[in-house]
C-alpha cells in the first residue's frame, strides 16, 4: 500500500487550516533520524488505514522518494471523531520491533450454539503484542469459532495460527484463553456489570478529555517531535 504526501512547514495550531482543506497533518519519526512533517489527503489515509491497520508496512511517497513506515499513532478529534494527526514510525527493517496485532473472531454465523441463541463468543483479548521483523508482523490473528460447539470451549494463545519461527508473543502464556464460548446469560451479566459506570463519571471523563485537547492543541508524542528546531533555539 502506498500514500502520497507533501512536506509541511505549517505546525501547531495553524494546522487547523490544513484540516479544513480535507487533509491531515502527519509526521514520520524513527530512531536516529530527524522527524519529517507531512500533509496527507484525508480520504486516502482513511482508506489505507482501514486496510493496513497498525501492523502492515506502508510506502510513503514524497516526490520521487519512498519510505517504508508503520502507522504508529493516530489521533482523533474528541468532538467530531475525525482523524486529526498521524504519526508514522520508520523502523529498521533488519531489527525486530513490537506491535499490537488485533484479534478477529469469525464463523459465529456457523456456530450452532450461537445461532440458537444459547451462547455467545466471548472475546477476552482484543489485541496481542508480538515481536517480529517489520515485514513479518501478522496483519491480524483470525479465530474461527464455527466448530466450538460446547459451552466453555475456546481458543488459547498456543492454538493461534502464525509463523512461530518469525513471530513471538512475549507477554502471554500459551494456555491463556483468547476466545471462549459462554452461555448467553453469563455474558449478559458481564456486559451489565461493565456498563455500570455512572452517568456522572462518563460525563466527567468526556469533559476532562475535551479540556485537555483544548489546552494542548495537537496532543501526543509524535507532535512533540515536530519542533526540534524551536527547542534548539530555546536551549540557546
pLDDT tens track for 65-105: 899 999 989 999 898 899 989 999 999 999 999 999 999 99
Per-residue pLDDT, 22: 87
Kindly report, as residue ranges, where domains of CATH 2.40.240.10 are found in the chain.
Answer: 1-90
Q: How would residue 198 be classed by pLDDT, with cut points 50, 70 and 90?
A: low
pLDDT in tens, 1-39: 888 988 887 676 767 778 888 899 999 999 888 889 999
Kindly report, as residue ranges, where domains of CATH 2.170.120.20 are found in the chain.
Answer: 97-194
The shares of helix, strand and coil residues in the chain, as percent rounded to the nearest 5, are: 30, 35, 35
Return the CATH number of 97-194, one of 2.170.120.20, 3.10.20.340, 3.40.50.2300, 3.30.70.20.
Answer: 2.170.120.20
pLDDT in tens, 106-153: 999 999 999 999 999 999 999 999 999 999 999 999 999 999 999 999
Strand bridging mode 58-62 / 2-7: parallel
**Taking Cα atoms as reference points, which of 152, 157, 147 lies closest to residue 181?**
152
Cβ neighbours of residue 103 under 8 Å, at least 6 residues apart? 123, 125, 126, 127, 128, 140, 141, 143, 178, 179
Which of residues 200 and 114 earns the better pLDDT score?
A: 114
Phi-psi region of 92 (alpha: psi -120 to 50; beta: other; left: phi over 0): beta
Per-residue pLDDT, 18: 80
**Fold (CATH) for 1-90:** Ribosomal Protein L25; Chain P (2.40.240)
Q: Which of 12-16, 103-107, 156-160, 165-169 has the lowest mean pLDDT?
A: 12-16
Amino acid at each position: 500500500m502506498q500514500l502520497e504526501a507533501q512536506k509541511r512547514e505549517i505546525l501547531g495550531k495553524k494546522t487547523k487550516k490544513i484540516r479544513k482543506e480535507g487533509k491531515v497533518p502527519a509526521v514520520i519519526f524513527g530512531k536516529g533520524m530527524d522527524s519529517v512533517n507531512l500533509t496527507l489527503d484525508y480520504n486516502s489515509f482513511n482508506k489505507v488505514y482501514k486496510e493496513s491497520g497498525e501492523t502492515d508496512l506502508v510506502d510513503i511517497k514524497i516526490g520521487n522518494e519512498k519510505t517504508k513506515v508503520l502507522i504508529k499513532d493516530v489521533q482523533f478529534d474528541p468532538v467530531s471523531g475525525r482523524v486529526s494527526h498521524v504519526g508514522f514510525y520508520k523502523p529498521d527493517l533488519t531489527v525486530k520491533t513490537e506491535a499490537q496485532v488485533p484479534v478477529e473472531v469469525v464463523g459465529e454465523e456457523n456456530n450452532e450454539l450461537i445461532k440458537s441463541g444459547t451462547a455467545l463468543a466471548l472475546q477476552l483479548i482484543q489485541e496481542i503484542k508480538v515481536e517480529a521483523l517489520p515485514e513479518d508482523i501478522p496483519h491480524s490473528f483470525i479465530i474461527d469459532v464455527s466448530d466450538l460447539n460446547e459451552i466453555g470451549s475456546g481458543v488459547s494463545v498456543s492454538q493461534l495460527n502464525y509463523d512461530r519461527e518469525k513471530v513471538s508473543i512475549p507477554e502471554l502464556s500459551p494456555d491463556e484463553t483468547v476466545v471462549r464460548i459462554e452461555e448467553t446469560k453469563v455474558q449478559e451479566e458481564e456486559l451489565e456489570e461493565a456498563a455500570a459506570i455512572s452517568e456522572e463519571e462518563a460525563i466527567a471523563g468526556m469533559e476532562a478529555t475535551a479540556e485537555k485537547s483544548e489546552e494542548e492543541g495537537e496532543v501526543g508524542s509524535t507532535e512533540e517531535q515536530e519542533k526540534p528546531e524551536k527547542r534548539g533555539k530555546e536551549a540557546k
